[in-house]
Amino acid sequence: MSWQQFLFGKLSLSVIPTDPIALGGIIFMLSCGAITLGLITYFRLWGWLWREWFTSLDPKKIGIMYLGVSGVMLIRGLADTALMRAQQALSVGADQGILSANHFQQVFSAHGSIMIFFVAMGFMFALINIVLPLIIGARDVAFPFLNALSFWLFAAGAALVNLSLMLGDFSAAGWLAYPPLSELQYSPSVGVDYWIWSLQIAGLGSLLSGINFFTTVATMRAKGMTLMKMPMFAWTVLGAMTLVAFAFPILTVTLALLSLDRTLGMHSFTAEAGGNMMMYVNLIWAWGHPEVYILILPAFGVFSEIVPVFSGKKLAGYTSMVYSIWAIVVLSFIVWLHHFFTMGAGAAVNAFFGIMTMVIAIPTGVKIFNWLFTMYRGRIRFTTPMLWFMGFVVLFTMGGVAGVVLAQPPADYQLHNSLFLVAHFHSMIVSGVLFGYFAGLTYWFPKMFGFLLDERWGRHAFWCWLGGFILAFGPLYILGLMGATRRLDHYDPSMGWQGLFIVAGVGAALVLVGFLCQIIQLAVSIRDREKNRIGNDPWDGRTLEWSTTSPAPLYNFARIPEVSGRDAFWMSKAHSLPGRQAGAEASRAKQVYEHITVPKNTSAALIIAAFALLFGFGIVWHIWWLAIFGIIAAVVGVIVRGFNDDTEMILSASEVVLIERGGTWRKFI
Amino acid sequence: MRENTQLMVIAEDYSEDRTTLFGFWLYLMTDVVLFASLFAVYAVLRSNTADGPAGAEIFSMPLVATETLLLLSSSFTCGLALLAAQAGNRAKVLFSLGATFILGACFVAIEAIEFAKLVADGFGPSRSGFLSSYFTLVGTHGLHVSLGLLWMLVLMAVIFFRDLSRPIMRKLLLMSLFWHFLDIVWIFIFTVVYLLAL
């Protein structure tokens, strides 16, 4: 081994990509980064960022940081969308389109991995961080430090994905990297290693979050809030975190085994020497199917909070909602085989998993009907969150029916890996998960920042997303039935597909316009923020998060609320009629205050995650000294932090009074 | 009044204990799933020897029996450490933890020797699917035990230099849960990997 190999592993200057599109991406990303850093330096915001954000253990701030990272990753994921739609609309016959086959494969692999792990998961943990402690009347999460560590590990994973854009390449083996394609023999570059370690590091963060939020719901609810009095969002988080705790260790094992195959020449999934590649497919879906329910359950929770508020009624069928959540949790672990009916497990096995898959549509249907019954005879306010909900109901139900079609093994033999499947799961993930989180972000935005988002631009965004989605994925259902398979970088004009692909491209462009509207919406709302500050309870909410100030103080509640029924805040407002708002204010004014213990800021989470990033980077490039240093430093960091007793501080009663009487605790902007 | 605040502080401590314990049990459950996946992988790959050796040909039962004995005894001494901690006897805690550490370290050492011998004989993890799954399953357990030893070492140092404070008691409890859990996993490894290979 030469010293160069020792120092840099497989890394050298030649790994920087040179084709124009990749180079354009790098230059765009670097200049965005440079501009951001420059602005932060120019406005002297580093100290503020470090003190108020990077070292903060406040879940509300950590949630907002999740939003930031996921927002950036959403831009990357959407850029990939644009490239794919352009390629498939153009690459017909003699025309080879804009991407090489290999680059196209990297683009769709990156699109899937980024959208699931760094956008959907990020938005989910953002919302949970911001809303969960408030909605159950808690001052914090169960393990504040662990929560920060989860976030920084997530950020480290995202950083590793972005590094792959500049140094080397990304996986070209699809978002789930099936072997033997993902084995060293067929993917010799570092792409798959980037995929493995970015997911492994971010996945560890998700697992810790799962434990954290489950414990939070289980042990930290406000006094009187028995399980059946919990807001539905807390129930869905409990369900989703149960799934995280049971599913993510399987992902950890699967990724670790694949990595051992690639780095130490083991044979867990190889095509020779006794490896079993179908075991990988089973393992990855034993995680992967629960994963989609991990994403959708909190979105269901968001809708279950929004629909009652904007219908002016309590949620219909509370008990059936709870049971349907747990039916979904259990069933989601016995449907994974429907992702590969064509593996040939036999008629009996396929029939069992086909039937289970159809059965899981029932609890989901129960929820849809409950939301509709909640709206029935309600006094509905058509705000943007409600629009996202109604878009969701229509598209999600249609996508779900397509899913029941796919659940039948004979039909699946025809539709497997076709664009019909692609259209189906985008119906679930975009119109289910993403619309749900958009609705939640609009609804809880005033909780985060104290002012409303602009409704007009929100409506523009919604209609562009809705129309764009239908235009982009309607054609894919048809193309799938016409026999177009997924991941095509080129096809023959005689197939007659190009027209529909062009329509899909127009749809994607409309979606991008929708996203642009959201950026404008954010900018306009910040510009008009003083006009949009309309108190602590802008929507006439029903749950506890609206009973404190918006934004909420560090400790959420000066006095932990006592709960005697569902929709606790609604009840307290109803008791103090007519001046509902005034009643809440008055009770806050005559409160007796006590001292509150809050966690101290710490940079340990950021530092440990930075070492984890070094470890991941070292392993990807076979820079062994860096990997060993990274892992040892991370473990030492955990020990040092673990035995630090000085992690809390006490806000005295008089300080609490100052904060409470001072009105809004802090304005971010 | 002062008594009252003191009571309140203690109550807060206990609620923190409860939350931490609950969370740690949940973590252990996720570790169960992790090991369950590795066991499943082993069950699938155990007959895929690719013309290499099967388990019966390479496992040394006397060594495995010794390992089992060491780990089971270490669980016993770990229990003694916890009892001593509840009695507030620092010297006894350190002594019992020291014994646990030595027993655990011997376990890891024997496992390392076993692995090294297999690799030297050409039966390393890259030889066959069976050996890959064997090394990952048993190795993951060994890694857990090693991390447990590190945790124990730091705990002993803290108890030696500081006191048996409430947070330290809590950490001791968690560490012992972790240790007993690894013992149970080993019982399954002993049964599924070694006894079924006979």
Question: Measured between CB atoms, does A635 come within 8 Å of chain B?
Answer: yes
Looking at the partner chain, which of A142, A250, A256 has a beta carbon nearest the beta carbon of B33?
Answer: A250
Give yes or no for residue A163 having a pLDDT over 70: yes
Amino acid at A217: V
Q: Can you tell me the distance from the alpha carbon of A546 to that of A536, in angstroms, rounded to the nearest whole number? A: 6
For domain B2-46+60-197, is the CATH number 3.40.50.2000? Answer: no
Burial group, residue A230, by CB count within 10 angstroms (0-12, 13-18, 19+): buried
Chain A contact for B11 (CB, 8 A cutoff):
no
Alpha-carbon distance A359 to A581, whole Å? 45
Asked if B4 is an interface residue toward chain A (Cβ–Cβ < 8 A), one would say no
Chain A residue numbers with beta carbons less than 8 Å from the beta carbon of B126 are 264-267, 273
Please provide residue A135's backbone torsions phi and psi, each rounded to the nearest 5 degrees.
Answer: -75, -25
Average pLDDT, chain A: 89
Counting every residue written for chain A, the total comes to 669
Query: Which parts of chain B register pLDDT below 70?
Result: 1-16
Residue A590: predicted pLDDT: 61
CB < 8 Å to A214, chain B:
26
Distance of residue A618 Cα from the nearest chain B Cα, in angstroms? 20
The answer to whether B12 contacts A283, with C-beta atoms less than 8 Å apart, is: no
Residue B171 sits at the chain A interface (C-beta within 8 Å): yes
Which position has the higher pLDDT, A588 or A320?
A320
Torsion of CA B172, B112, A624, A163, to 10 degrees: -60
Calculate ∠ Cα A669-A304-A202, nearest 5°.
60
**Per-residue DSSP letters for B115-153?**
HHHHHHTT--TTS-HHHHHHHHHHHHHHHHHHHHHHHHH
Judged by a CB distance cut-off of 8 A, whether residue B26 touches chain A is yes
Q: What angle do CA B46, B47, B52 make, to 5 degrees?
A: 100
Which pLDDT score is estimated for B103? Answer: 95
* Chain B residues within 8 A of A272 when measuring between CB atoms: 50
Q: What pLDDT, on the 0 to 100 scale, is given for residue B10?
A: 46
Q: How far apart are CA B88 and CA B157, in angstroms?
A: 17
Please provide the DSSP assignment of B30-96 as one string.
HHHHHHHHHHHHHHHHTT--TTS--HHHH--HHHHHHHHHHHHHHHHHHHHHHHHHHTT-HHHHHHH
Cβ-defined contact of A274 to B45 (cutoff 8 Å):
yes
End-to-end C-alpha distance for chain B, whole angstroms: 68
- Both tokens of residue B17? 């204990």
Q: Which residues of A touch B154 (CB under 8 A)?
A: 639, 642-643
Name the strand (E) or helix (H) holding A648.
Answer: strand A648-651
Work out the average pLDDT over A99-109: 88
The amino acid present at A635, given as its one-letter code, is V
CA distances from A233 to A323, A434, B8 (A): 14, 16, 31
Question: How far apart, in whole angstroms, are the C-alpha atoms of residue A399 and residue A20?
Answer: 37
What is the distance of C-alpha B112 from the center of its chain? 15
CA distance B1 to B7: 10
The helix (run of H) or strand (run of E) holding residue A82 is helix A59-90
Contact assignment for B45 to A248 by CB distance below 8 Å: no
Highest mean pLDDT among A49-58, A209-218, A528-537: A209-218
pLDDT in the model for residue B56: 82
Mutate: best of B20, B26, B28, partner A, most A CBs <10 A: B26
Which range of A517-531, A588-602, A653-667 scores highest in mean pLDDT? It is A517-531
Interface mutation vs chain B, best among A252, A291, A643, A648, most B CBs within 10 Å: A643
Q: In this structure, what are the phi and psi dihedrals at residue A649, rounded to the nearest 5 degrees?
A: -135, 165
* pLDDT tens per residue across span A186-223: 888 898 999 999 999 999 999 999 999 999 999 988 88
CA distance A271 to chain B (A): 10
Query: Quick one: pLDDT at residue A91?
Result: 84
C-alpha–C-alpha distance, residues A363 and A355, integer Å: 14
Closest listed residue to residue B129, CA positions, set A474, A267, A654: A267
Q: How many CA atoms lie within 13 A of A301 on its CB side?
A: 28
Which ranges of A220-311 would DSSP assign to H, the alpha helix? 232-264, 277-311
Cβ–Cβ gap B150/A639 under 8 Å:
yes
Q: What does the pLDDT look like over B132-173, one tens digit per residue? A: 999 999 999 999 999 999 999 999 998 888 878 888 888 888
Q: Are B144 and B182 in contact (CB under 8 A)?
A: yes
Whether omega for the bond prior to residue A409 falls within 30 degrees of 0, making it cis, is no
Cis peptide before A578 (omega within 30 of 0): yes
Residue labelled with tokens 């892992």:
A631
Residue A666, pLDDT score: 54
pTM over 0.80: yes
Per-residue pLDDT tens over the stretch A398-444: 999 999 999 998 898 889 999 999 999 999 999 999 999 999 999 99
CA–CA separation, B55 vs A296, rounded Å? 44
3-state secondary structure A306-349: HHHHHHCCCCCCHHHHHHHHHHHHHHCCCCHHHHHHHHCCCHHH
Judged by CB atoms closer than 8 Å, whether chains meet at A207 and B30 is answered as yes
Distance, in Å, from the CA atom of A261 to the CA atom of A188, rounded to the nearest integer, reads 12
Residue A259: predicted pLDDT: 94
Select from A143, A215, A274 the Cβ nearest to the Cβ of B130: A274
The C-alpha atoms of residue A621 and residue A635 are separated, in whole angstroms, by 21
Amino acid in position B56: A
A contacts of B133 (beta carbons < 8 Å): 268
**Residues B190/B184, Cβ–Cβ less than 8 Å:** no
Higher per-residue confidence, B14 vs A154: A154
Is pLDDT of A588 > 70? Answer: no
Instruction: Compute and round to an integer the Cα radius of gyration of chain B.
Output: 20
Q: What is the pLDDT of residue B9?
A: 47
Q: For the packed helices A498-527 and A59-90, what is the interaxial angle rounded to 10 degrees? A: 150
Q: Which two tokens stand for residue A170?
A: 């990304």
Distance separating the N- and C-terminal Cα atoms of chain A: 54
Option in B26, B41, B48 nearest A245 (CB): B26
Residues of A with Cβ-Cβ distance to B43 under 8 angstroms? none
Q: Is B134 on the interface with A (CB under 8 A)?
A: no
Across residues A341-358, what is the average pLDDT?
90
Indicate if the pLDDT at residue A669 is higher than 70.
no
A185 touches chain B (CB under 8 A): no
Q: Note whether B133 contacts A268, CB cutoff 8 Å.
A: yes
Cα distances (Å, whole numbers) of residue A270 to A186, A195, A275, A507, B48: 10, 18, 5, 40, 12
